[in-house]
Each structure stands twice: as structure tokens, then as C-alpha cells.
Structure 1
Amino acid sequence: MSHATAPPAPPLAPGTRPAPGYEVLAHLARTGWLDLYDAWSEERDCRCVVKVVRPDRRHEEGLGDRLLREGRWLRSFTHPHLVRAYETFESPQPLVVLETLTGETLTHLVHRLRRRPAAEDVALLGVHLCSAIHYLHGQGLLHLDLKPSNVVVDCGHAKVLDLSVARPPGAAPAGVGTFCYLAPEQARGGLLTAAADVWGIGVTLYEVAAGDLPFDCGEGTGSRTGDVTTGDVTTGRDDWYPQLEDTAPSIRSRRRLPRDLATAIDGCLQPDPDARPAVRELAAAFEAVLPWQHRHVAPTLPP
């Protein structure tokens, strides 16, 4: 006799107190293993974001530790292009409190705009991403999951989110990250270096500039993700990655851009990690595209 699988537990209701001093205002999103809530901080007298492991996955070993590790990193890091964490709680459940960001993710921005962002705005975004990634690398971490949904932009100022799959450089299992955005070496598994995040910068800017990814990942596979604790790919075929079969077409085949900007983006997407530019070199290339009076200043992305 077969038994139906129990449905996932519903999100916490408004008014619930997930930790002392915090009250749930609304459920924001549910990922494969997390719930995110709009919450009120009594101590700060402001809104914040509360991140917790989904109720139906709290029994899984390692997920709570993974969340708390991310929260501790974000509490200790201080950078204008990284989201901040305020607090972490180990009980009554593993929980991280993050700042509330205004603006919208690049994913929403790309789909909302009727025209593609100006080349100078793409270059400025590249400068901000390079700044955040350079800082993370200085802290001994690779981000490994740069993508438009992990970047929030407000009035031209970008902030990078989500260190849930971050790890130090070195050996890693295949598939850690998000399917369509993985560097080839992430897809294969093995030694990961700063070049994997350079790929992440390039593929993110490619999608923002062109409105689409450089690879056809197949319907419904864009959110396929790997698990940092096991390396398992959760959906779809785990032995097929377009990044391992094809070279990314030049961004200039999809969109007219200044030659130097296009060359920088294309350089990020070289299959060989050693052929990609270093983060400092890449940042200099993006900044060179900006008018001199706009360098180190945040112009507004188009409405």
C-alpha cells in the first residue's frame, strides 16, 4: 500500500516570533531549503529579512550549520557591495537576520526593462561586482554563485547576496552552484580558484547586457542547483552542462557594445580558467569604459 507524500509545511504566519525580538510580517520566498521572511526588529525599530531552514528540511544534517556559517561571515564582513547580517541564532532554530535592501534583483530588472541597460551602466555594475568579489577573495572565500537573482540594485548601487555555497579555493565536487551559471570547472568538479568567480561576473553581465544567457540550458533547468554539503545536483540530468560542450558566443553577437567592454565580458567566459582576466585587471577594464567624471560614482540605471 502506497502512502502519499506529506505536503511541505506552510510558511510561518504573520505575527509569529521566530526568535526573541523579531516578528514575522510576511513570507517573502521559499527556495529549495530556505524560507525568507519580511520581519520587524524591535531592537532596531525597523524591517529586516529573516532567513531560516524550511520546516520540512530541518532534520537534514548540515543545513542549519550551513546557514549559520553564512550568517557569521556576513556579520563579520563590511563592504558596500555585500549584504549585511545583523544577528544569528542557533535556537530555537538556526536563523540569520539580514538587512532589508531596497531596489530589485537584476533578474527582475532584466525582465522589466523595455530596453537594455546602457553600456556605461553595465560597466559600472561590473566595477561593483569586481569590488565585492575582490573583498571576498581577500577574506579567503570564493562566492561560486554569482547570478542576477543574487544581486540587488538600487539607484545604480549593487549589492551581492547569498554566501550559501561559498567556500575557500581548492577542490570541490561537481555541480556546486547554479546550473546555467557554473564555470566549466565548477560543472566538472575539481580545483576551483578565483577564476570561477570571474566567470560568474562575466555570465551575469552577459545576461544583463544581452537579456539572455550565453548558453541554452534547456527549459526549466535554469535554477538547477548543487548542494555545497554533498555536491549533488537536485534536478535534471547531472551529467550534462552546456558550458562543457560549447564556447560562449561573443557578447557582440547579441548586442552592440564598446569593443573594450565586450572584450572584458568575453574574456570572463573563456573555458580555460587561466585564460580569464584577474579580478583587478577586469575591474580596471570596466572602469576604463566609464566617462572620467562618472568613475567611482553611481549613475542611475534606466527606469
Structure 2
Amino acid sequence: MTLHVGSVLADRYEITAPIATGGMGEVWRATDRTLGRTVAAKVLKAEYTGDRNFLERFRNEARHTAGLAHQNIASVYDYGEITDTDGREVAFLVMEYVEGEPLVSILDRELTLSPERTLDVLAQAGEGLSAAHRAGVVHRDIKPGNLMVRPDGVVKLTDFGIAWARDAAPLTRTGMVVGTAQYLSPEQAQGFQVTAASDVYSLGVLGYECLAGNRPFDGDSQVAIALAQINRPPPPLPPTVPGPVQALIEKALAKDPGQRFPDGGAFAAAARAVAAGGPGPATSAATTAYIPVAGGDGTQVIGPVAAGAAGALAAAGALGAAGGPATAPRTMPPLQGPPVDGEDDGWDDEDDGRRRRSPWPWVAAAAVLLLVLGAVLALTLLGGGDDEARTPGTTTTPATTTSAPAATTTESAPGTSESSAEQTTEETQEQTEDPGQETTQAPPPAGTTTTQAPRTTTAAPTTSSPTLSSPAPTTTAAPTTTESTAPDASGPTT
């Protein structure tokens, strides 16, 4: 059934003007022909009428709201499901018509509210929630779009479509997170049980937005925002906000439900006390505490959470101590578990998706690089002259002195070096006579001290110097030679 001005619902409610269109339905102003009063008629969209889940959620809103009577809750008058002339099912909800505008429109226009006006809005919303909480109903979707403000300043709560009641069957599948990500409480974002304190957290987010002109948590995706609700503390409020008001919001935004106000009534009383000049509630580092668990502005399903965490039941049971109505525990892990000892929390204030990294691997790498550079520099300073004069293909082997019994010595005397140098090119001679070459000396036996000047000879590639009783002759065939010196094995030389 396509509604338009002049249409009549259930032969009783005449449509007079459109009010708004939401994710699930359309809201129209209508006239109750029977009672002669103006009402608001909310009609479920045709594409959702055949969906059992959406239809049950719509019925859920009617049942929950109809049982609540409070000046800060928009009353429900009627509910019906009819078949139109085309044979299609039409579900509608008739409720109190609230003159005024939603709080979200006021914030769009004015950006922020004064602390006094904010406290008044929070107190009225908290008092309306107190009636729901006493009846065992948790709203689960507190946000500026669901608070209507009349011209005289009276605030009305609306849209109990995803509210939970302790006597009702759950409307969502296990592991599904339902709500508006920017206003979700941490436990709600993780898919765990909700309590009256969960609505208090959402009111805290709403109050923060009224004072600061922006929400405390935003992101590129609904899941990223939900993770921020779980892990990150809210940014500080502007310094112009009085201290008691800041303390009130800080307590409402505590990550642990047990550190918040237990329900809407307690939050409303605290807001009234602060508005009267009170000091505000005592707070600690509540907004930075983690939930003790195991491991778009529209209301929407954030997405399924993988099942299988064994510790989720215990965590859900722990949250139940916060008081107020609560759903049954769900066996699912959090979207983002808390860090284990020694780990970073995984959230950087500048970039939500990046994890901080330890600087120690870079420090170690820098130290190793410095050591290598130092070694290369030392080798360059000690053997720089040889490197410049050395002919390609020539290998210099320094003379070594060792001590061993019954061994003969083959020693390259200075004369040998000069004789060899005569048979080589001039470049090789310069290399041989250079006293600054790098040498390596093997350690002598214990108790023996030796000092041996480096000895250098050049030999043909096919000629070696064996250890004999007398020095072996040296032959030089080409400038590109391999230099080899037999060690002095006769004993220490002083």
C-alpha cells in the first residue's frame, strides 16, 4: 500500500502530512477519526513486511512502548496489520504525535548546546529511561535521532524498535551486534549482554556530542567505530565545559559497566545535582579501563562475530553484576579482545588500524651497522696503501711465527724480498717494500712472546714454499702472483 495525503489506515487514521522516513518505515501525521486527535502513524516499509525479523521487531516496538507510561516517553496508542486492496500486508504503529523536532536536527543547526541545556536534556532522557529500566526494558538505541524535543523543552524518547525486554525472546541471531555504532556501549559492541548501564553509556555519548559538537568515536567503518568504543578513551571535552559536567560525562562513558551509573534514574539524579551546582560524581581512570572479557548514523546490524570463544560466557556473567535487566550470555568472542600483559593495546590515537611497533629491532640493526662500518674504516686506514699499490691478482700473506718442537724454519729475510722484487714489476716492488701492510700473527704458545716484522715474498702461481731445512728458492713468472711465506716453526724469535 502506497501512502499519500488523504489515505486512510484501518478505516480510522487519515494521513494528513509526511513527517520523516527512516530505515524501517515511514512516519506520517494523521488524524484519528474516532477520537478526533492528531497522531503519528509509523508504517513498516513494504519490502520489510514479508521479512519475519523486521516484522517481529516492529511488533516488539509496539509491545514494549505500549507498556511504558512516562512523560518523557512517546506513548503508543495502537498497532495493526492489514491487507490492502492489492493483497499486500501493511503493518502500522500509531503513537503520540510530538510537536517539535528531533535533537539531531537541533545539533545540525546549532552544533553545540550550553552545559545547562545539555544537563536538562540528559536528565529528562534519563528519567524516561528509568521508567523503561524499571519495567525491565533496555532501549539499546539511544541517539539524538530518537529524542524528540518539544518547543517547551520537554524531551520524549522514541523508537523502541530494537529494545530488549527480560521476558521477550531475542530478535537477533547469536553474534549479531545491533544498534548505531557511534552510540554503542563497549559490551554491546562486543555482542555481550546489555544492561540498563548500557543505555547510560549511550546517553554519555549523546551528552559529549551536545557539549563538544562532535561524537567521541568515529571511523571509516562501523566495525572500526565499534572497536574504538571498546578500546579507546574519549578525547577530552573542551576546557570551557565545567569540571562537574566533565566528571558526569566521564563516569557515564566508563568502559566497565560497573563504574557507570547503574541506570537512567541514577544518571538523571546526578545530572540534576550538577545542574544545581553540585561538585559532580567522583571518577577515576574509568574511561580508559578495558572490559574484562576473554579474549552511518542509522541503526544497523554491525555484522556477525565469529563463534567459538570459550571464555565469553564467563565474561558475560561478570558483566551481569552491573545491575538492571540483561540478556542471556552469548558464546562469542569480542570484536577486539583486550591486550595480554606486555602487549600494546593495538590502537594508536592518530590511526585506528595501526599497531605500535617496538623500536628495539631498529636500535639493534643500527648498532650492527655501526660495528660493520667501524671495522671497514679500520681496515681501510691500516691497509689503504696496499690497496692502492696492489696489482690485481696478487695476494699478500704475512709471515707468522709459531713455536713447535723439532721443526725447521723457512723465513723470508729482507734480502729475499729485495731479490724477488728485482724479478717483478715496479709496482710489485713498491708493494713489497711498503712496511704498512696488514698482517695477521698466530698466537704463540703459553709463556712465549714473539715479535716478527711482516715478511713478504712473491711467487709464481705454480710454486709453493714447503717447510724444509733450508729456504726454498722463489721464482717470479708474472706480476700477478700469489705471495706465500712459510711460517717460522723453529721456535720463538726475539
Tell me the TM-score normalised to structure 2 length.
0.50
Matches within 5 A, 1:91-106: 91-92=82-83, 93-106=90-103
Candidates 42, 60, 64, aligned match of 1:73: 64
For the residues of structure 2 that align with 1:240 and 1:282, how far apart are their CA atoms? Answer: 23
Matches within 5 A, 1:48-197: 48-92=39-83, 93-113=90-110, 116-154=112-150, 155-168=152-165, 173-197=175-199
In structure 2, give the amino acid aligned to 1:70: E
Query: For residue 296 of structure 1, what is the aligned residue in structure 2?
Result: none
Query: For residue 36 of structure 1, what is the aligned residue in structure 2?
Result: 27
For the residues of structure 1 that align with 2:161 and 2:21, how far apart are their CA atoms? Answer: 15
In structure 1, give the amino acid aligned to 2:13: Y
For the residues of structure 1 that align with 2:54 and 2:44, how far apart are their CA atoms? Answer: 7
Deviation of the 1:237 alpha carbon = 5.0
Deviation of the 1:137 alpha carbon = 0.7
Whether the 8 Å contact between 1:174 and 1:186 is mirrored in structure 2 is no
Deviation of the 1:60 alpha carbon = 0.7
1:201 lines up with 2:197 in the alignment: no
When structure 1 is superposed on structure 2, of 194-203 and 278-287 the one drifting more is: 278-287
Whether the 8 Å contact between 2:64 and 2:137 is mirrored in structure 1 is no
SS in 1 for 2:232: coil
Whether the 8 Å contact between 1:110 and 1:211 is mirrored in structure 2 is yes
Could you report, residue by residue, the CA deviation over 1:73-106 in whole angstroms, capped at 9, with x for unpaired residues? Answer: 2223210000011111132332110111111111
SS in 2 for 1:88: strand
Whether the 8 Å contact between 2:181 and 2:226 is mirrored in structure 1 is no
Could you report, residue by residue, the CA deviation over 1:36-92 in whole angstroms, capped at 9, with x for unpaired residues? Answer: 112121122232111121012211113223212211322232100000111111323
Deviation of the 1:196 alpha carbon = 0.6
SS in 2 for 1:130: helix
SS in 1 for 2:78: strand
In structure 2, give the amino acid aligned to 1:208: C
Query: For residue 260 of structure 1, what is the aligned residue in structure 2?
Result: 244
SS in 2 for 1:126: helix
Query: Considering only aligned residues, what root-mean-square deviation do their CA atoms show, in Å?
Result: 2.3
Whether the 8 Å contact between 2:13 and 2:32 is mirrored in structure 1 is yes
For the residues of structure 1 that align with 2:232 and 2:81, how far apart are their CA atoms? Answer: 44
Query: For residue 12 of structure 1, what is the aligned residue in structure 2?
Result: 3
Query: For residue 273 of structure 2, what is the aligned residue in structure 1?
Result: 288
In structure 2, give the amino acid aligned to 1:33: M
For the residues of structure 2 that align with 1:239 and 1:158, how far apart are their CA atoms? Answer: 27
The sequence identity of aligned pairs, in percent, is 28
Give the direction of change, closer, same or farther, for the CA distance of 1:193–1:75 in structure 2 (3 Å limit).
closer
Whether the 8 Å contact between 1:169 and 1:194 is mirrored in structure 2 is no
Deviation of the 1:249 alpha carbon = 1.8
SS in 2 for 1:250: coil
Whether the 8 Å contact between 2:60 and 2:162 is mirrored in structure 1 is no
1:248 lines up with 2:250 in the alignment: no
In structure 2, give the amino acid aligned to 1:244: I
When structure 1 is superposed on structure 2, of 133-142 and 68-77 the one drifting more is: 68-77
Higher RCO (C-alpha 8 Å, min separation 6): 1
* Structure with the greater alpha carbon radius of gyration: 2
Deviation of the 1:153 alpha carbon = 1.1
Whether the 8 Å contact between 1:28 and 1:38 is mirrored in structure 2 is yes
In structure 1, give the amino acid aligned to 2:77: Y
SS in 1 for 2:52: coil
Whether the 8 Å contact between 2:139 and 2:199 is mirrored in structure 1 is yes
For the residues of structure 2 that align with 1:32 and 1:160, how far apart are their CA atoms? Answer: 18
When structure 1 is superposed on structure 2, of 261-270 and 24-33 the one drifting more is: 24-33
Deviation of the 1:129 alpha carbon = 1.4
Give the direction of change, closer, same or farther, for the CA distance of 1:213–1:240 in structure 2 (3 Å limit).
closer
SS in 2 for 1:68: helix
Whether the 8 Å contact between 1:169 and 1:193 is mirrored in structure 2 is no
Whether the 8 Å contact between 2:73 and 2:156 is mirrored in structure 1 is yes
Whether the 8 Å contact between 1:101 and 1:152 is mirrored in structure 2 is yes
Whether the 8 Å contact between 1:106 and 1:148 is mirrored in structure 2 is yes
Across the two proteins, how many residue pairs are aligned to each other? Answer: 264
Whether the 8 Å contact between 2:182 and 2:226 is mirrored in structure 1 is no
SS in 1 for 2:132: helix
Could you report, residue by residue, the CA deviation over 1:162-221 in whole angstroms, capped at 9, with x for unpaired residues? Answer: 100100369974421111111111111012111111101101111112111001233xx6
In structure 2, give the amino acid aligned to 1:290: A
In structure 1, give the amino acid aligned to 2:230: L
For the residues of structure 2 that align with 1:169 and 1:203, how far apart are their CA atoms? Answer: 25
